[in-house]
Amino acid sequence: MKISPLIFRNYDIRGVVDVDLDKLKVEALGKAYGTFLVRRKIGQMVCGRDCRLSGPKFQKAFMNGVLSTGVDIIDLGLIMTQMMYFGQYRFQTNGGAILTASHNPKNFNGFKLGVGYSQTTGPEDVQELRRYVENDEYFIAAERGKISKAAIKEDYILDVLKRVRLKRSFRVVVDSHCGTTGIYVPEILRRAGCEVVEMNTKVDGSFPKGTPDPTDGHLMEALAQVVLSKRADLGIAFDGDGDRIGLSDEKGRVLWNDVAVAIFAEEILERFPGSKIIYNTLCSQVVREVVKNHGGTPIIWKTGHAFIKSKIAEERAAFGGELSGHFFFADNAYGHDDGAYAALRILEYLSEKKVSLSQLYESFPAYISSPEIKIGCPDDKKIGVVKHLAKRFMTDFPDAQITDDTVIPGDDGVRADFSDGMMVFRYSQNGPYITIKFEAKDQAVFEDRKKYVLEMLKKYPEMIWEDQLCVNLDFLNP
C-alpha cells in the first residue's frame, strides 16, 4: 500500500486525518501490528482510543485489521493512554494499542503500540511495521481473532489510589482542556480526598478550547488565573490522552515541567539515596543541581517517552522525566507515564513535607527559563536544520559543553550548557516542528540568549512561523 513514510516516527505513528490516515490505511496498520504480534507469538492485545473525533471509526478499522491476523482483542473503549498499559497487566498480555495523537491538534491521530508491559515501539519496530504496510506483507489467519469488551475504569482507579496516601486535603483546579481526562481525573482526585475545581472537563474531541498541550503558555496562564481566583492550592493541566501534566502553584505561577522533574527527583532521593535519575535534554540545569545536591546520579538522555523508559530500565533508575510532562516512576508503579498518578505523587509529597507548591519551588536553585517553544519545520527539512545548528553552536559557543548525537547516540538535538544556564534546539519525533528552550540566572543574559535564538531561527527559511503546531512563539518577542 502507498502510505506516507513520514507518519512512521521514531516510537509511534502519527499523521493528519484524511490526508495521511484514512480507514483503509488504518486497517492496513492494524494488519501490520497483528503480524508484528503473531511473529512474537503474542495472540492477544488490549486496544483503546482517546476522545478525538476520528477515534471510533479508526479504532474499528484498526481492530478489523488486527483480527484478520488471528489476534484476539480486548476493547477498552475510551480511555487514557496509561489505562492501555494498565490493561496489559490486568489481562496479562504484551500486546496493546491506543489510538491517540496526544498533544497534536484536532486534525491529527495516531497510534502508541505496545511491545511488552509498559513498553512501546522503538525505531526498529516502527520501521518493521512500515515494511509490512508498504509491501502488503501480512499474516492472514485461517481463523479470525475474537473481540471482547472490558470496562477497566474502577480497577484502574483502585490501582492508582492504593499507591498514594494524602495526609491532607487540597483544593485542586483540573484543566482537561476538553480531553479524555475529564472522564477520569476529577473523580480520581475526589476519591483521594481532594476538593476539585473543574475546568474544561467536558470531553469534546473537536477541542473547542484549543489543543490540550500543557506546555502551551497560554493554556497554562489561563489555568494559573483560575487557581488564583479560586484560591486553590495548585492547578494541574493535562494533555489529550492523560499521560502528561502541567502545574501552576497557588501564587499563580506556571512551573515548567523540568521543575516537576526536580521535585520528583528530590522526593525519591530522600527515600533512595544514590539513585539514578533520567531526564531529557530539554530540561533545565535545575534538575542536575537538585539531583546532585541530594546525592543522586543525574543522567541526561534523548527526548521521547519510549527512549526515556528504555534508559530507565537499562540503568535501573528509580525515576525519569521530561520537560513535556511525561514522568516515569519505577519505585511504586509500573514505570510508564501516567498523568493522574503523577498528580497524586505531587500532592502526596506536599502533604508529607507540609509545604505549599510555591515553597517547594522556591527552595530550588533559581533560573530564568523559557517555556518549551515549538516552531513549524517540514519533516524532510527539520533534521538538516538541527544538524546545521549543531555546527553553529560549536563556533558560537567554544567554551560551552555541547551535547549532540556524538555524546548521546541517536540524539535529535544539540544542547549548549554554560556556567549559568543552557540552550537547546531539537527536532520533534512527533511532528513537523523544532523545539527550543533556553535559560539563564541573570535577566540580561537571558535576554541575550532570547535574541540569539530569534536571530538564529530567522536565518532558516525552512521555519514556518504561522502553523497550527507552533507553541509559545510569542515568548520570543523582544
pLDDT in tens, 337-378: 999 999 999 999 999 999 999 999 999 999 999 999 999 999
Instruction: Identify whether residues 213 and 171 lie together within a single domain.
Output: yes
pLDDT value for 433: 95
Instruction: Identify whether residues 76 and 144 lie together within a single domain.
Output: yes
Instruction: Identify whether residues 141 and 24 lie together within a single domain.
Output: yes
The residues that bridge with 175 in the sheet, in sequence order, are 199, 237
Query: Considering 253, 279, 312, which residue would you say is the last residue of a domain?
Result: 253
- Give the residue from 251, 284, 290 showing the smallest Cα distance to 422: 284
Cβ pair 289, 260 in contact under 8 A: no
453: CB partners within 8 A, 6+ apart? 373, 423, 436, 438, 476
Query: Considering 212, 236, 253, which residue would you say is the last residue of a domain?
Result: 253
Instruction: Identify whether residues 15 and 141 lie together within a single domain.
Output: yes
Instruction: Count the residues in the chain.
Output: 478
Instruction: Identify whether residues 210 and 283 lie together within a single domain.
Output: no
- For residue 69, which phi and psi values (nearest 5 degrees)? -90, 0
Has 351 been annotated as catalytic?
no
pLDDT value for 321: 97
Instruction: Identify whether residues 292 and 399 lie together within a single domain.
Output: no
Count how many domains the chain has.
Answer: 4
Cβ pair 106, 208 in contact under 8 A: no
Instruction: Identify whether residues 195 and 215 lie together within a single domain.
Output: yes
State the number of CA atoms in the 13 A half-sphere of 210 facing the CB: 15
Span 381-422, pLDDT tens digits: 999 999 999 899 989 999 999 999 999 998 889 999 999 999
Instruction: Identify whether residues 29 and 144 lie together within a single domain.
Output: yes
**In the block, residue with C-alpha cell 530500565:** 313
Q: Report CA-CA distances (Å) from 204 to 23, 311, 365, 368.
A: 21, 35, 40, 36
Instruction: Identify whether residues 139 and 63 lie together within a single domain.
Output: yes
The residues that bridge with 374 in the sheet, in sequence order, are 435, 471
Query: Considering 362, 381, 404, which residue would you say is the last residue of a domain?
Result: 362
Domain limits at 354? 257-362
Cβ pair 344, 156 in contact under 8 A: no
Q: Report CA-CA distances (Å) from 376 to 410, 414, 473.
A: 22, 18, 10
The residues that bridge with 417 in the sheet, in sequence order, are 401, 422
The CATH number covering residue 453 comes to 3.30.310.50
CA distance 227 to 213: 18
The CATH number covering residue 32 comes to 3.40.120.10
137: CB partners within 8 A, 6+ apart? 35, 131
Cβ pair 276, 328 in contact under 8 A: no
pLDDT value for 306: 87
In the set 68, 102, 118, 370, the catalytic residue is: 102
Cβ pair 392, 425 in contact under 8 A: no
Instruction: Identify whether residues 277 and 331 lie together within a single domain.
Output: yes
All three cell numbers of 91? 489481562
pLDDT value for 305: 86
Instruction: Identify whether residues 323 and 392 lie together within a single domain.
Output: no
Cβ pair 343, 185 in contact under 8 A: yes
- For residue 327, which phi and psi values (nearest 5 degrees)? -130, 140
Q: What does the pLDDT profile of the chain (478 residues) look like in tens digits?
A: 999 999 999 889 999 999 999 999 999 999 999 999 999 999 999 999 999 999 999 999 999 999 999 999 999 999 999 999 999 999 999 999 999 999 889 999 999 999 999 999 999 999 999 999 999 999 999 999 999 999 999 999 999 999 999 999 999 999 999 999 999 999 999 999 999 999 999 999 999 999 999 999 999 999 999 999 999 999 999 999 999 999 999 999 999 999 999 999 999 999 999 999 999 999 999 999 999 999 999 999 999 888 999 999 999 999 999 999 999 999 999 999 999 999 999 999 999 999 999 999 999 999 999 999 999 999 999 999 999 998 999 899 999 999 999 999 988 899 999 999 999 999 998 789 999 999 999 999 999 999 999 999 999 999 999 999 999 999 998 8
pLDDT value for 133: 98
CA distance 117 to 127: 20
* Helix, strand, coil percentages in the chain from 3-state DSSP, rounded to 5: 40, 25, 40
- Positive or negative, the Cα torsion across 345, 347, 350, 352? negative
CA distance 110 to 100: 5
Cβ pair 62, 26 in contact under 8 A: yes
Instruction: Identify whether residues 140 and 26 lie together within a single domain.
Output: yes
